[in-house]
Structure 1
Amino acid sequence: MRFYDTKAEKSYVNPTKIEAIFRLCVRLKSNFERADSVKLISSHLTKEVMELSALAPTRTRRQQVHLTTNATWSKEEDALLTQIASQSETVAWSSIAKFFPNKTAPQLAGRWEKVLNPCLIKGSWTREEDEIILKYVAENGDKDWAKLALLLRGRTGKQCRERFKNHLDPNVAKVAWTEEEDKLLIELHEKMGNCWTKIATFFEGRTDNCIKNRWNSTLKKRLERMKKGEPLVMKRGRKPKGYYDNIPKPDLSNINNIDLQLSPVCSSPVHPPQRLSVIELAPLTETLPIFKQKKVDGPREMLTLEQNRLDLQRMLQAALA
């Protein structure tokens, strides 16, 4: 067996020395289990142990930084990154990383290019953008999304990929979910969990994003209600059979004996309808909200309000005639 040092040089190490180091490690382990102090262990740190540590694989700088990186971003970090990255078109992310002790250069680049860049477009897609995506996929296939993003200013490669995979792909099924599909999704989720990409291989025309949305928006909530013994929510606009049977009905037996208090302007044998003159209608129209003049820009606005007032008076007269 060949062993190589940390400098990636193909230097051959004597197997007998490796066997001696291995025996030393076994002895150190047994001594460590019986040791009462650290002095007993430190006395066995010989030259062979140092050579063994030199042969051990070391972590790269990326692996070391990864142990201390934080995936979450604070408002202060976003503000600082925006201030630095917006000053120049070409950004040296490796040099900027020294201002962020818990972030790597790829993290800084991804945060700026996919989240903070003000040139990004996060709204709805236009028909022209969809046509560019379909034309690109027809010529190059569904790959190299970063190259496609160069044709769509303000869009990232991830956005282009999700747009095609979830909406524009003709193989994506856009019909409603069937009961058989729901049962299959529940069974697969019990076995695989949230591995949506693996689950999508069992469905024809359903993407991983579509399956994830179906589970989180419908099936997950339905199963939680079933476990709690709660009734399932009915579909909008439908009521179960017999829903209105328990609603009390009004008593209409004494409806003829009800004394109705009619207004003087209502049509009744006791109180004939009264007509209001234009002079009597004027205070009524002035109190309506649409004629309250908060701000008048000019004589044209005043004429419009006056015309509306006269039109309303004519309508009221015609209704009361």
Structure 2
Amino acid sequence: MTKDQLPRGLLSRRRALLAGAAALGAAGSAGLFTTFAGDEPVRRATPAPIAGGPQARPGRKPSAYRLQPLMGYGPPKAAPRRTLVRRAPLLRVPGRGRTMVLTFDDGPDARYTPYILDTLREYDVRAMFFVCGEMVAGNKDLLARMADEGHVVGNHTWSHPLLTRLGRGRIRREMERTCDIIEESYGERPSWFRAPYGAWNRAAFQIGAELGMEPLAWTVDTLDWTSPGTRTIVERVRHGAAPGVVVLSHDAGGDRSQSVRALRTYLPRLLDAGYHLTVPERHYA
């Protein structure tokens, strides 16, 4: 299997999860369960450039409402000599009112991540970026910008492997090495991690907890990695929007121009509909 190919079993389970996630979003219910559907591998295809190129925008005073993190939520409080290990990833986040979280996987990528950061800054919204260490290595400036603009950076392993096919030693190296480069570029170690392809196992949960990270999955999968069209991505977010929802998109791994354009369309609509788009706390006392 190459990086550009999603295993058949994962693809079918991914499609099944999309239907289930839509139902969860409509109901607005909360809960945890293990998912084996997920995002795509990091690809190195050369996409068509986005017309206009990235443009620097003047800084704006952050909105205290939109930039306020979710309170009382963060990495686990471990009892002395005991580490809390989850058996399933978190799929939703708590919060008052119509709270949602936007997440972006596989980056950072200099071709697309700056556009996403520009849009988030324009609307004073923070998001979560689950980055791959090998992508950070050539784009450390983008992680520095994420830190400056208040976004949360999570661990998405170094090379985006299928963790369920790796031994514990390799899983630890993938995760620990990424923690190190995030700390070097972002200024602090990550408090969150996400398994590539959404494929979790006991070792991933245990090692993530030992490294001080909580596992976060998602509720709404835009499936933007399939290049379904900007309008389709927008509709998937719109139909899945509900309190506590975590939206999965990508800022790397292929041509992400549709993801960039979709964000510019659905983000102001979500805000106009009264959604509070924010991030979990990075610091946990």
For the aligned pair, the TM-score class normalised by the smaller chain equals under 0.3
Higher strand share: 2
Which protein is richer in helix relative to its size? 1
TM-score, normalised to structure 2, is 0.19
Compare CA radii of gyration and give the structure with the larger one.
Answer: 1
Of the two structures, which has the highest relative contact order with CA contacts closer than 8 Å and spacing of 6 or more? 2
TM (norm. structure 1) is 0.17
